[in-house]
Structure 1
């Protein structure tokens, strides 16, 4: 930080002290040339308030750890010059919004990091270690689409600035969506496309099966047939056994995939638990359904 004093004017700095029930405390320091907001916080901590808690690391806009709210807007304090944000020779510095306060300017980033988990952030390569790395052309459309999103340094500034997160803490937030976008456009990432394809294909098969089943039931009821008579007419008929076997198998595949997607989107359960639940449901539906088909054949 430059020590050249350009003016005798004092900078009035209000800094948040304490946790969620804290308050703003005022300090006065000299205005200096090329002074950043992080310089201001550091000077106050070193000269006036040794117990002041805050985060910083690189000081050059690479790590994002020094993000704070400056005059109502979340910013990287190491890249924010005082002269660009000062208002009436005053600064108000607070921790990031939408995150629990730990102490002073330090926030608990756990809710923010959790949004990456909910977005399916872990990279899952489609190739094994025994295969050659996937070749990605720099000018390919998917790579170009992902390029801008790759610049995210997880500073939580966007999360703090997001009004939707303020209204609904369960909203995944811009950073989580950004991470999901990079994975969608990463050709190396295993996006579980087989589940997507399986759900769509089973839906295509199920639609006419359900329609045929409903039409036949309505036709039988209008004809005055009871449930026992309907079962009696289908018993021993290979065609009906094949029809309902296909119905059961398709439903046993389709329903668990849909349930898995809902649970992944609306809960924070570990993926392995969700996958196990989906497989269990599919097996139960398959066994019970085929058992019913065998019973009426």
Structure 2
């Protein structure tokens, strides 16, 4: 299992692994809800087959619907975020001009060099996104293939009894799936909660005050995607939305920061109850693991760290080592 998980990280197969788990759990969940369907005969599993078909076909229907209404936005998503990063770089460079004179005068002289460093980093990331279109589509393809594998595995035929190796692997895959259900499913609802409140703030509350932020659709999408990464994703969203608010006015930046702090105070309570209690992980543990994983595997390590660490703790707890 350790070798498999390391291979997944080294070969960039994390989206596939996550969607395998997602497809498996979704199919099992739907099959349980469709258990009232009559069975066709010995060995037949109509509920499972229908659930697997729904899981496999639903993404295709959603993509077709999305392409018919917002084709340019989906296909040009990397370009949208490239423009956003360029916009943030310009905002950082113009920080003194955006702030009130009294506050700008208090900035140390060395702040200009820090501004140039941050802007250069953002511009470099924007340049990398300029050629990310093919990688973006390849990632979606890997994710869909993983969904197919998970759905098919959930309704596989159960035949003869398995040997010791197969039994041990089945047990460990079940533990990994349990960790995924606890971590990712909980984080999905937390990210959805954050995204709903952020969209309400950006699309309804700010316009009431006569303020509209540029790149609002990209910011809402970023809030959901980054929200799937515990703690660090929230900090990233806070920084980006506040910087974009600063490009409009200092008042908009303060309003964004205050609202986001309010959201994440509520989110910390949810996180502590939903994730912490289920997985017995402290915030310090999660941050430490995410820090090391990001240093070794890059951004993918941030996503994988909570899942892999939760699985590791399950294995250690099963052996009564922790």
**TM-score grouping bracket, smaller chain normalisation:** under 0.3
Q: Which has the larger radius of gyration?
A: 1
Higher strand share goes to which structure? 1
More helix by share: 2
TM-score (norm 2): 0.25
The alignment's TM-score, normalised by the length of structure 1, stands at 0.26
